[in-house]
Amino acid sequence: MILFFIVALLLLSIIHGVVGWRIIPALGLSDPLRLFVWGIIPVAIVLPMIPIAFRSRGVENDLIDWFSWAGYISLGFFVLTFFAILAKDTMFAVLSMGQKVAGLLGYAHHEPIDPSRREFIQKVTGVGILAITGTATAKGVYNATQSPIVIKKDIPIHGLDQGMDGFTIAQISDFHIGPTVKGGYVRQVVEQVNRLEPDIIALTGDLVDGSVKYLAKEVAPLKDLSARTGKYFTTGNHEYYSGVDAWLDEVDRLGFTNLVDSHEVISNGRGSFTLGGVTDYRSRQIKPDHHSDPEIAFSGAPKDLPKILLAHQPASIFAAKKVGVDLQLSGHTHGGQFWPFVYAVRMANPYTAGLHDHDGTWIYVNRGTGYWGPPLRIGVPSEITLLKLRSAPESKK
């Protein structure tokens, strides 16, 4: 934990320092105001770390949650500003290099920019960046706090009984109920899901960020989720940071069936398939008796029935393919949540969002029903997924 704080403070210091160094001098502020703005920088660096430090020691209360809101919004703004500065500097460097090359080739002659004009350009650029990132932050917070969109997909499942054609699965994932996602938002999602009238509900991990003692009242609305056949849960990585055994007990109390490297045969009286669930992809590092192994999850399952797997991380798809899974439902990525993390998420996961055909095994990656960290969603809305299974005659595998 100490190493985490050291690395986090180092990265935050770099991000905030660059923003201060590149933006504050360009604004042309008076000396007292410039000193005041520079004084904000160290406060902004430690602000997002304060709630993390307290929660790591088991301190959870409304005041810590307020610090989470302030710290995470500030972090989102500074991160957006940092990358906007990098994008601007990259663009100017390319233009400058282009002018120099053109000059060497005799196509242009570049006159030095007058110092007063350079100062004006820097000020306009600095103010422009702050206006853009400030507006983007406000819009991102607004987006994150709105009800998730509903995405509907039909998925052909080879070997699925005709009697189960049209069977629906409502997938929710990555709520991250905790410091900034509360029971009111959960209640909205419950009402949205219930209006879909699904056959089963699949909750694919990262339900919470905090203890059962503090968050039980916030997750309580999930008890009202209604599905014809059942509600199923499998763990994400954040359950292991929050007391996984206690949360498995609480989720069970809320009416879910926990699929802990296990499976159940789902039947509607006219057909059947096997629904399996694995623990988080890296669960064994924290709880050794959780294996995150699709082979274990489907051990003893009927061989002639299609297999659907709930697996929090898309990285489980490789093991899922080996055991003949027809469809894997995952989350974890948040679809990137906001720029520029979309690109980092794409590099870290085999699939980021939506439906994909992985060499004959379908995988659907939910973009997250909530959000994590900075309460921002830019270009990547929160979602509830309604998957409709369709019978397909021949196997693709």
- CATH number (domain holding residue 161): 3.60.21.10
Half-sphere exposure of 176 (CA within 13 A, CB side): 21
Q: In this structure, are residues 130 and 362 in contact, taking their beta carbons and an 8 Å threshold? A: no
What's this model's pTM, rounded to 2 decimal places?
0.91
Q: Does residue 12 sit in the same domain as residue 65?
A: yes
Handedness of CA 335, 340, 345, 346 (dihedral sign): positive
Q: What is the pLDDT of residue 394?
A: 61
Please report whether residue 181 resides in a domain: yes
Same domain as 261, residue 115: no
Omega before 350 within 30 of 0, i.e. cis = no
Q: Would residue 122 count as lying in a domain?
A: yes
Verify that 119 and 180 share a domain, yes or no.
Answer: no
The boundaries of the domain holding residue 327 are 149-392
Residue type, 379: G
Query: What is the reported pLDDT for 3?
Result: 84
How many folded domains does the chain comprise?
Answer: 2
State residue 113's pLDDT score. 62
Q: What is the pLDDT along the chain (397 residues), one digit of tens a residue?
A: 688 889 999 999 999 999 999 999 888 888 899 999 999 999 999 999 999 999 988 899 999 999 999 999 999 999 999 999 999 888 878 877 877 777 777 665 556 666 677 777 778 888 999 999 999 999 999 999 999 999 999 999 999 999 999 999 999 999 999 999 999 999 999 999 999 999 999 999 999 999 999 999 999 999 999 999 999 999 999 999 999 999 999 999 999 999 999 999 999 989 999 999 999 999 999 999 999 999 999 999 999 999 999 999 999 999 999 999 999 999 999 999 998 888 889 999 999 999 999 999 999 999 999 999 999 999 999 999 999 999 987 654 4
| Rounded Cα gap, residues 352 and 371, in angstroms | 15
Q: Looking at residue 26, what is its pLDDT?
A: 84
- Both 224 and 271 in one domain: the answer is yes
Question: What's the pLDDT at 108?
Answer: 58
Q: Is residue 397 part of a domain?
A: no
Task: Provide the token pair at 131.
Answer: 């206006």
Give the span between the Cα atoms of 383 and 8, in whole angstroms: 29
Query: 87 in a domain, yes or no?
Result: yes
Among the candidates 128, 143, 158, a domain finishes at 143
Pairing status of strand 272-277 against strand 327-330: unpaired
Residue 6 forms part of a structural domain: yes
Q: Are residues 265 and 351 in the same domain?
A: yes
Q: Which residues pair with 327 in a beta bridge?
A: 308, 362
Name every residue whose Cβ is closer than 8 Å to that of residue 232 and which is 6 or more positions away in sequence: 200, 201, 202, 203, 256, 257, 258, 259, 264, 275, 277, 310
Which pLDDT does position 110 carry in this prediction?
57
Q: Is residue 49 part of a domain?
A: yes
Q: Is the same domain home to 264 and 224?
A: yes
Tell whether 178 is covered by a domain: yes
